[in-house]
Amino acid sequence: YILCYIIEPGNAKDFAIKTEGYCSYCKTAKPFRAHHCKICKKCVLKMDHHCLWICNCIGYNNHRYFLLFLFYLILFSGIATFSTWRVAFNIEDPIIGIPPIIRYGVFGVSGGVFLVISIFGYVQYTAAVDGITELEQKELKSGKATKEKYSLGSKGNWELIFGKDIFYLSW
């Protein structure tokens, strides 16, 4: 989480290569795959979206850390859901003094959080493997672009985000 928050997503002004147009907000040339974030008030290289969870844009420099944050969030919310399931349905010794309705409620909330985060994670990971961002998915749906415009192949897209290091799941 901290790395997603503190690492700049990729300021487009730092990468003045192969421009795709002009940003009317920043009044500068806009590199290929850069988009302007109205919340951050800057152009972000390979911008995926502005994340309210981390108060930062997800872009070229911090996409890896965001996907790792999501992976570990899914993992730990799954563990929490499994733990509350064991307590809610008396798989282990029942906790004295906690009514079943509260146990079921806690299990329902943790299961719901796990489900929502898992769906969001699935969408983000499939987009990463396809080599497209959330904003580029909208362009694909409207017919303004094709997947081939952005994709380097599944392996190439994965390596672009995580690198070639075998320890890509580490921070």
Q: Report pLDDT digits (tens) over 147-158.
A: 677 778 888 888
pLDDT digits (tens, 9 = 90+) for 34-73: 888 999 888 888 888 998 888 899 988 889 999 999 999 9
Return d(Cα 62, Cα 161) in angstroms, integer. Answer: 9
Selecting among 23, 43, 51, 57, the annotated active-site residue is 51
- For residue 95, the 8-state DSSP code is P
The yes-or-no verdict on residue 120 having pLDDT over 90 is yes
Residue 104, helix vs strand vs coil: helix
Q: Which helix (H) or strand (E) holds 28?
A: strand 28-31
Sorted by sequence, the CB contacts under 8 Å of residue 4 that are 6+ apart come out as: 51, 54, 56, 58, 62, 65, 66, 69
The CA distance from 82 to 80, in Å, is: 5
40 carries an active-site annotation: no
φ, ψ of residue 29 in degrees (nearest 5): -65, 145
Q: Structure pTM?
A: 0.81
Q: How far is CA 115 from CA 83, 89, 97, 149, in A?
A: 15, 19, 29, 32
Which of the listed ranges 66-70, 80-84, 110-114, 165-169 does the model predict with the highest average pLDDT?
Answer: 110-114
Q: Which two tokens stand for residue 142?
A: 């409207």
CB distance 132 to 147 below 8 Å: yes
Place of tokens 């769906």: 119
